Chain A
Amino acid sequence: MIRLLWLIPTLPFASALILALIGPRLSKRVAAALGAGSIGFSAAITILVAVGFMTSPPPGNSYTQLLWTWISVDGFRPQIGLYLDPLSLVMLLVVTFVGFLIHVYSAEFMIEDDDYSRFFAYMNLFVASMLVLLLGNNLVLLYLGWEGVGLCSYLLIGFWYRDPANGRAARKAFILTRVGDTAMSIGLFLLFTQLGTLGIQDLMQRASAQWPSGSTYAVAAAFLLLGGAVGKSAQLPLQVWLPDAMAGPTPVSALLHAATMVTAGVYLIARTHVLFSLAPSAQLAAAVVGACTLLLAGFSALVQHDIKRILAYSTVSQIGYMFLALGVGAWQAAMFHFVTHAFFKALLFLGSGVIINALDDEHSIFRMGGLRKELPVTFWTFLIAGCSLAGLPFVTGGFFSKDLIIWNAWSAQYGHPAFWIVGIIGALLTSLYTFRMIFRVFFGPLDIPVTKRPGYRMTIPLVVLAFFSIVGGFLREPLLGFLHSALPSTIEAHTGGLTEIRSGAIAGVIFLIGLYLAYLFHLKKRNWADALVSGPVGRSLHQWWFADWGFDWIYDKVFVQPFVWASEINKSDFIDAFYSGVAWLVRWFYQGLSHTETGRVRWYAAGMAAGSVLFLAVVLFK
């Protein structure tokens, strides 16, 4: 069973190729069947592989399948090799399963679009790249997948390319992740030159053998890899691309920017956790980045109008939680949160897609209202996902995962009370903005009538994901146990008066406070919310948080405008002058020499005579 591992990335890739080449000639039905079907088969094979893996685990609890040697140059021999261990298996299951559901959803969501097959081609290519990223047994293959998902992100964000704003958003995403990618590639260079290999398992062994804890190389490499992860996962300071990436179709937002691509950074750090363990300062930096991001994004999410932007900032914030977990050494908690987050965030995005579609492309939550009765399935699934996100105690998966992280922020190896407080505040914010969204969208008077209702292809994925949002929480013990072989368990370093139960209780109370406040401001007495925003403090805070704490503005002033200015003054391109100068010189010679072509015989004879005189002179007097 495990031998079928190679099919998992290959099927989506083949499907992408077919759709790219002959897609426009296929009917929409066939294109959707191919697109969603390939992912479905991948998911099925993943389940088979998982069953095989769990029932009869291979030795060392990891399985490597080498396909062929990719490059063979003087000691640098990365292979196309697939590495399966519990960590990658968990991520595979989530990616293929959620991916399949989203593909089914988008079969109906994108039905009216002319570029139907192109959409599925890109989506399949994305899933294939993501799977390569997850399964790669060396960092070069991982980087290939990394770049592949970056490319597909660009293609999919700018899917409706005829609107230049979408193109700008796509470029922004690509450029910012590129900054991270550059840091990561420098990290890869460093690792290779120092340790001589890029195979992940070899690398980890050699690093722990050769580098003492805290050595400069380890720290440098870890920071560079962290840079890459920060870029891809939209953390501080490279988080500005994710809200703008909402310009793409909703299934894209659901798949890439909620469940899978943005978690690639989390995966990278988890994979190279040995390296990070050798570089405590890098790990601490990861935690700090995560903590700051989750706060920052939480505040920004609180003041957004566009439903997708709220969800985007929410994603940034939740990944901040994952980074925080990784940073304090709670590796398994981070993965657990990834699993639950994938379910409920994808569900939230898909639900928002239904809403936007139903209200004829309306995005602002302040213009929505009262959809509870009109879109019942959507309402209930959205509510379940929202509760999971905010952390409704005991019932939802999100509670268990987030609670674990918050507890570990206090108690784990690098935990600190400050992190715990940040986590708690983040939970409050999460609850606030989630229920703000829910109350504004589903409750209150019906402002815009519902024109389109979703079909079964869109509602079934919603229901399935809702189911898993609830059930996912109960997977905590089995999951953590399963991951035990791949990731080190979290050491409970210090408790200092707080137990896990108590922390969980506090988190639960926070949830309720958030719920009540949201109820108050956004359902009961909405005028209070307006009053708050229109007051002087409220207004400036609102504007500041709305503009993502001014990051876009800073980047524009510091990077974009000087660059644009420099390219303006270099418009005539002085280096180009060298080449055009050569052309000018040639032309000048041509004009001069064309005067000698007079057509007069005497001229030519004189030329010949002079020439022979010269030659003779040269020969005689040399």
Chain B
Amino acid sequence: MFSLGLTGLLVRRNLVFVLMSLEVMLNAAGLAFVVAGARWHQADGQVMFLFILAMAAAEVAVALALVLEIYHRFKSLDIDELSEMRG
């Protein structure tokens, strides 16, 4: 799933899709943690997943606010257009 998320991140140009793929990747990482915790019978896996969850929530909030800002400023959600930091 992580690879799928990565693929989605690299392929899609729409900013929203990029963020969604990012969520997929985070989720996949969390899945790996939980499975590992269950394998070794430790609570740490689930705890880690909790933190990832919290972080993902905060990140989504800020990211989506930014998406709105970008849309209203650049009138486009194409990630390739948003390349003002080029060398």
B13–A602 contact, CB under 8 A? yes
CB-defined contacts of A599 to chain B, threshold 8 Å: 83-87
* Inter-chain contacts of B18 with A (CB < 8 A): 601-602
A601 touches B87 (CB 8 A): no
Number of A-B contacts (CB under 8 A): 32
**Are A606 and B10 touching (Cβ within 8 A)?**
yes
A112 located at the interface, meaning its Cβ lies under 8 Å from any Cβ of chain B in the complex: no
B86 touches A605 (CB 8 A): no
Please measure, in the bound complex, the distance between the C-alpha atom of A333 and the C-alpha atom of B86, giving whole angstroms.
87
B85's closest neighbor in chain A, by CB?
A599
Is B80 within 8 A of A609, CB to CB?
no
Question: Which of A600, A605, A609 is B83 in contact with, Cβ under 8 Å?
Answer: A600
Question: Is the CB of B79 closer than 8 A to any CB of chain A?
Answer: yes
Q: A605 and B80: CB pair below 8 A?
A: no
Q: Which residue of B lies closest to A593 (CB)?
A: B87
Q: Is B26 part of the contact surface with A, judged by Cβ < 8 Å?
A: no
- Segment 41-87 of B: residues with Cβ below 8 Å from A: 79-80, 82-87
Interface members, chain A 168-199 (any B CB < 8 Å) = none
Closest to B7 in A: A609
Chain A, 572-613, contact with B by CB distance < 8 Å: what is the 0/1 string? 000000000000000000000010111111100110010000
Which chain B residue shows the least CB distance to A609? B6
User: Is the CB of B24 closer than 8 A to any CB of chain A?
Assistant: no
Contacts A600-B79, A600-B80 given; indicate if A605 touches B87 (C-beta within 8 A): no
* Residues on A with beta carbons closer than 8 Å to the beta carbon of B9: 602, 605
B82 to chain A, nearest CB (A): 7
How many angstroms between the C-alpha atoms of A605 and B79 in the bound complex?
A: 12
Q: How far is the CA of A601 from the CA of B22 in the complex (A)?
A: 13
- With contact pairs A609-B6, A609-B10 given, residues A601 and B86 touching in the complex (Cβ less than 8 Å): no
In contact, A594 and B87 (Cβ under 8 angstroms): yes
Instruction: Tell me which residues across on chain B come within 8 A of A594, comparing CB atoms.
Output: 87
Q: Known: A602-B79, A602-B80. Is A597-B10 also a contact (CB below 8 A)?
A: no
Q: Is the CB of A597 within 8 A of B79?
A: no
A508 to chain B, nearest CB (A): 94
Q: How far is the CB of A152 from chain B (nearest CB, A)?
A: 58
Cβ contacts under 8 Å, B86 to chain A: 597-600
Instruction: Collect the chain B residues with CB atoms within 8 Å of residue A605's CB.
Output: 6, 9-10
CA distance A602 to B10 in the complex (A): 5
Q: B87: shortest Cβ distance to chain A, in Å?
A: 3
CA distance A31 to B83 in the complex (A): 71
Interface of chain A residues 265 through 309 with chain B (CB within 8 A): none
A598: nearest chain-B partner, CB-CB: B86
Q: Which residues of A contact B84 (CB under 8 A)?
A: 599
Tell me the smallest distance from the CB of A332 to a CB of chain B, in Å.
Answer: 83
Q: How far is the CA of A594 from the CA of B86 in the complex (A)?
A: 9
Please, how many angstroms separate the alpha-carbon atoms of A600 and B79 in the complex? 7
In the bound complex, CA of A600 to CA of B84 (Å): 9
Please, which residue of chain A has its CB at the minimum distance from the CB of B11?
A602
* Nearest CB of chain B from residue A504's CB, rounded to whole Å: 94
Shortest Cβ gap from A220 to chain B (Å)? 66
Using a CB-CB cutoff of 8 Å, which residues 120-139 of chain A contact chain B? none
A594 to B10, CA, bound (A): 21
Q: How far is the CA of A598 from the CA of B82 in the complex (A)?
A: 11
Q: Are B6 and A601 in contact (CB under 8 A)?
A: no
CA distance A594 to B87 in the complex (A): 6
Distance in angstroms between the alpha carbons of A599 and B82 in the assembled complex = 8
Alpha-carbon separation in the docked complex, A56 to B61 (Å)? 106
Residues of A within 8 A of B83 (CB): 598-601
> Which residues of A come within 8 Å of B, CB atoms?
594, 596-602, 605-606, 609
A599-B83, A606-B10 given; 20 more Cβ-contact pairs under 8 Å: A596-B87, A597-B86, A597-B87, A599-B84, A599-B85, A599-B86, A599-B87, A600-B79, A600-B83, A601-B18, A601-B79, A601-B82, A601-B83, A602-B9, A602-B13, A602-B18, A602-B79, A605-B6, A605-B10, A609-B10
By Cβ-Cβ distance, the 4 closest A-B pairs, closest first, are: A597-B87, A599-B86, A599-B83, A599-B85
Could you give 6 example pairs across A and B, Cβ below 8 Å? A601-B18, A601-B82, A601-B83, A602-B18, A605-B6, A609-B10
